[in-house]
Each structure stands twice: as structure tokens, then as C-alpha cells.
């Protein structure tokens, strides 16, 4: 195992080390002053059951950072393994919803069709953390699909799916 001390000159090494941890892939949406906005994230996590809180984080350098940190509500969509194209689309840009049908959710955030689960959240708190902001949401409504599709995962810079150990 190669050891190193993280610093601004070792970001590639740090990204490679962090990439060893596989994560699920989520799409976050919000209704903003300029219309619907989406962003792909792999930083989604459960925080608390009482009250029901989740978090995700947005890079402060992103053009979508301020609209999301200023939004009063948002929706987190858990993506399935067959939704890689959707994840890539919203990773590149966030205003083009034309190829993807959606409805306004109970808090007004765009709710895309066919995702494994959705969590409609009111923004609970936003905390600056290094070069990102941690966005906490209180879940006000949640839904799941009745099917057993695999979730979309991200590891070592690529998308994939979970394979159970034998």
C-alpha cells in the first residue's frame, strides 16, 4: 500500500484513493427562479431517521451551486443501473429536461419518471465544507418503485452495478 499526505499537489492521488469506495448515484432536482435544475451526485447519504434527514454535497465551483444552496426544497432521485445516460446528461449540464419527462413534486421540485426511489426534501441546513457545501434536507415525502432493478453505482471514475459476493 502506498501512503501519502493529501495536499493541493496530490489531488489525483486523493481522488484515486477515494474512488476505491463505491457509491450510489443520485440526481438532485430543484425548481429555481430560472426554471428546473438538475445535478448528478454521488455524495447522497442518510443522516437521521428522526427527524428524517439526508445530505448531499455540491462543489462551490459549480455554476449550479448557488441555485441549489438557495433552493427551499429539492428532490433526490436514486438512479437505476439502466439510467447511466440520465446521470451523464445531468452531470454535464442541468437545465435541459426536454429528453426526460417529469412532474412537479409535492414541494415543487421536478420529479423524473422511472427512478428507483425519490425523496422530496425541504432544505434543512447548508454548511460550507472546504470546496463544497453540504446540503441537508428534511424528507417530507418519499416513494419507491416496486421492481427489483439494480442501482447505478460509481467507482474508480466509472458507472456500474452491484454484483453480490458468492
Give the closest residue to 27 by CA, choosing from 113, 125, 134.
Answer: 113
Average pLDDT over residues 14-32: 84
Q: Compute the distance between CA of residue 29 and CA of residue 60 in angstroms, rounded to an integer.
A: 17
Burial of 41 (0-12, 13-18, 19+ CB in 10 A): buried
Domains in the chain (CATH in brackets) are 25-141 (2.30.110.10)
Give the closest residue to 77 by CA, choosing from 157, 143, 150.
Answer: 143
**Is the pLDDT higher at 154 or at 134?**
134
User: Contact, 67 vs 37, CB < 8 A?
Assistant: yes
Global pTM value: 0.90
Per residue in 126-139, pLDDT (tens digit) is 999 999 999 999 99
Contacts of 106 (CB under 8 A, 6+ apart): 120, 140, 141
pLDDT level of residue 60 (50, 70, 90 thresholds): very high
Predicted pLDDT of residue 156: 81
**Is the pLDDT higher at 22 or at 107?**
107
Amino acid at each position: 500500500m502506498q501512503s501519502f499526505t493529501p495536499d493541493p499537489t496530490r489531488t489525483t492521488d486523493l481522488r484515486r484513493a477515494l474512488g476505491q469506495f463505491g457509491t450510489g448515484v443520485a440526481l438532485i432536482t430543484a425548481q429555481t427562479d430560472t426554471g428546473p435544475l438538475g445535478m448528478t451526485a454521488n455524495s447522497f447519504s442518510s443522516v437521521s431517521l428522526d427527524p428524517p434527514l439526508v445530505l448531499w454535497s455540491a462543489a462551490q465551483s459549480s455554476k449550479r451551486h448557488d441555485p441549489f444552496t438557495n433552493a427551499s426544497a429539492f428532490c433526490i432521485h436514486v438512479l437505476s443501473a439502466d439510467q447511466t445516460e440520465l446521470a451523464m446528461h445531468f452531470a454535464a449540464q442541468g437545465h435541459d429536461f426536454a429528453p426526460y419527462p417529469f412532474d412537479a413534486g409535492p414541494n415543487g421540485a421536478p420529479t423524473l419518471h422511472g427512478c428507483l426511489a425519490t425523496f422530496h426534501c425541504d432544505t434543512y441546513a447548508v454548511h460550507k465544507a472546504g470546496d463544497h457545501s453540504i446540503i441537508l434536507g428534511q424528507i417530507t415525502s418519499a416513494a419507491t418503485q416496486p421492481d427489483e432493478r439494480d442501482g447505478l453505482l460509481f467507482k474508480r471514475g466509472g458507472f456500474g452495478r452491484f454484483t453480490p459476493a458468492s
